[in-house]
Amino acid sequence: LVQLVESGGGSVQAGGSLRLSCEVSGYTYIDYYMGWFRQAPGKEREGVAVIDSDGRRRYVDSVKGRFTISQDNAKNNLYLQMNNLKPEDTAMYYCAAGRIRLPALQALDVMTSAETNYWGQGTQVTVSS
């Protein structure tokens, strides 16, 4: 059974930082991609950051230079360091692990599909102005 459990969300003021963590268990596709997507109320899911099996990273334009995705060597934990947070970053953030092998360039665009990814339950991030 694949399980992804997110933590680290919270409420911060604009300009603040948060570090999201995702604990992964039962996932044996160590050479596939992993990443984060978010969903704000009334909006569609949006891929935020992804890292592939070769360590390549891709970010949505709105978070470039502010967010950093990383994982531990065993790939049991995935992280998202979020700096200089903005109110528009407010959303539920989800950890995703691929069911298919794709490079980061393509993975960011498919991470929001339940058919091709395992998802966690999400952690709420709220940024106030």
CA distance 101 to 86: 32
Q: What is the pLDDT of residue 68?
A: 98
Q: Is the pLDDT of residue 83 over 80?
A: yes
Q: Is residue 75 over pLDDT 80?
A: no
| Residue 13 CA to its chain's centroid (Å) | 21
> What DSSP element (H or E) covers 57?
strand 57-59
Confidence grade of residue 48 (pLDDT, cut at 50, 70, 90): very high
Terminal CA-CA length for the chain = 40
